[in-house]
Structure formats: structure tokens, C-alpha cells
Amino acid sequence: MPKNLFAVLKGFLVSVILLISLIIFGALALAFTPLGEETIALVMNIGRYVCVFLGAMTAAFTNGSRGLWQGLAVGAVFFIFFILCRTLMALPAAGILTAGAIFLLCGALGGVAGIMLVK
């Protein structure tokens, strides 16, 4: 498997694992704390983008070069995953392009940050 593809897949898997952990943490927080649904929803939205940032950082660090492209690739793969999940759950498509643009931006920023960790 080419190093670039391996790095992107590793970054994507890190993003998904972090997102699943965040979802579990959010569900537990909603069940056992007095926090409202609005607060949990805000944390989940911000956390979704942080997961992409950290996954892109992992991809760029793993590859060691081309951090911007690695990060954009992780953001794009995560966006496709996000679209598939929303389609399977029959959720409305409102705001999906905005989310995609933010995924790409977070991926690019995470890729640049990941390259800075290499040196």
C-alpha cells in the first residue's frame, strides 16, 4: 500500500475512533449530568471538526511530507463518510456543504500542524 494512502486511511480511522469516543462520552454526559441537549449538540458539532483536525494531523505526521494535501484528503474522506451516514439515517441535507467546507478547512489546518510536529 502506498505511503500516502496508508497515511490518509490512518488519519481517517483516527478521526472515526475519536468521533465514536466523543459520541459515547456525549451520550453518557446527556444521561448522567444536568446538561441540556443544546449544550451537548454544540459540543458534538465542535468535536466533530476537532476529530477531523486530529486525524489530518496524524496523517501528515505519518507521511512526513505534503501535510496540506494529506489533511485535505482526510477532510474529503471524512466528508464522504459524513454524507453516507446522514443518508443512511435519512437526516436532512441542510448545512451539509457548510460542514464539508469546514471539514476540508480543519483537515488542511491539521495537515499543516502535523508537518510542524515532524521537524
- The contacts of residue 38 (CB under 8 Å, 6+ apart) are none
Domain count, the chain: 1
Share of the chain above pLDDT 70, in %: 97
For residue 91, the model assigns a pLDDT of 75
pTM over 0.85: yes
Which residue range(s) make up the domain with 22? 3-118
**Per residue in 19-34, is it b (16+ CB within 10 Å) or e — as a string?**
beebeeebeeebeeee
- Give the pLDDT confidence score for residue 118 in this predicted structure: 77
Q: How many angstroms separate the CA atoms of 30 and 40, rounded?
A: 7
Tell me which amino acid residue 20 is.
Answer: I
Question: Within 10 Å of residue 92's Cβ, how many Cβ atoms?
Answer: 7
What pLDDT is attached to residue 104? 94
67: pLDDT strictly greater than 70: yes
pLDDT classification of 1: cutoffs 50, 70, 90: low
